Structure 1
């Protein structure tokens, strides 16, 4: 096994922060409840880096480009640190490919887990009033609605999660070789 524990530690810390930044981006895109305590925690965790970027990078419509740029920066730092620690020299194009593909991979991973939580909650606690359950519902509902326009429900049985899981899994397989 050729695994460096220091590389693993860097990847875990950077990917955790990337997850939080991507969650902020998704919460803003889906117009999730800003006053939810979990949303407030995410905003507080990311504001020290997002607010200075926001002064330089304006938003484009509903897309918070400062959060998107921060997500790319966090992934770039992850790629740069891992490549540097492993002692490999790589051309700049490799950094760009791994940064963009890795960010998309982690965004798909975020949606995968949100969908999984949403499906489990629909079985265990449908209509739950917990702040976490409400955020998961707000994140996944646009995806469900988009899929339900193409695939209608069958007598109360919603098949859209299955097709969304298949699409996410396929895209993650395509991006997997380029993610850390």
Structure 2
């Protein structure tokens, strides 16, 4: 039971900070200004790890690779800590694989959170100051769906359909992660 509590708390802390790093990278790529409360929170959570890495790792076009490296490093440290807590068995080769899968899970979960809040605000309070930020972040995911799915009763279901698609991707990722672990265990 104690191990599950530690895993839970570690997942929350690492997920929050690595998610902030990924959101920072995504907001920079989408040219979303950071003067809003979301941007200020992202800076507060990620500056301590991203700024030192930025001195070493260069960006690639619109993408800030130091944010991606920081998020991956956090996930890798989490997997290493869990590996050590479990007794350091021979599955050390699985740690980078688990970190990559954890990073993708954080990214998909973050996108799902953005889409969920965006959809709710679009229905109840589209004039909220944070709605513009969420709209800019959700639009690259929602726009392709919106092109293919017409309005139904003057209601846009594109965010809901994108949420369902992201949930399916999470299920597929869990299956791929388990398959990768079985492969590494057989080595």
Class of the TM-score when normalised by the shorter of the 2 chains: 0.7 to 0.9
Aligned to 2:62: 62
Query: Which structure 2 segments of 5+ residues have no match?
Result: 179-187
Give the deviation of 1:148 after TM superposition: 2.2
What TM-score, normalized by structure 2, do the two folds share? Answer: 0.83
Q: Equivalent residues in 2 for 1:110-125 (5 A)? A: 110-125=110-125
For residues 34 and 13 of structure 1, the distance between their equivalents in structure 2, rounded to whole angstroms, comes to: 22
Q: CA deviation at 1:93?
A: 3.3
Which TM-score applies when normalising by structure 1? Answer: 0.86
CA distance in 2, matches of 1:56, 1:167: 36
Shift of the alpha carbon at 1:136? 1.8
Name 2:170's counterpart in structure 1. Answer: 172
- Distance change (3 Å), C-alpha of 1:44 and 1:76: same
| 2: CA distance, partners of 1:57 / 1:3 | 35
Aligned to 2:137: 139
Q: In structure 2, which of residues 141, 146, 149 is the aligned counterpart of residue 148 of structure 1?
A: 146
| Stretches of 4+ aligned residues off by more than 6 angstroms | none
Task: Give the CA deviation at 1:87.
Answer: 1.4
Query: How do residues 40-79 of structure 1 correspond to structure 2 at under 5 angstroms?
Result: 40-79=40-79
Alignment partners' CA distance in 2, 1:116 and 1:85: 35
Q: Per the alignment, do residues 4 and 145 of structure 1 end up closer, same or farther by CA in structure 2, a change over 3 Å counting?
A: closer
Q: Provide the secondary structure at the position in 2 that maps to 1:39.
A: helix
Following TM superposition, by how much is the alpha carbon of 1:154 offset from its aligned partner in structure 2, in angstroms?
Answer: 4.8
Shift of 1:3: 4.5
Structure 1 SS opposite 2:33:
coil
**Residue in 1 aligned with 2:157?**
159
Separation in structure 2 between the aligned mates of residue 169 and residue 10 of structure 1, nearest angstrom = 23
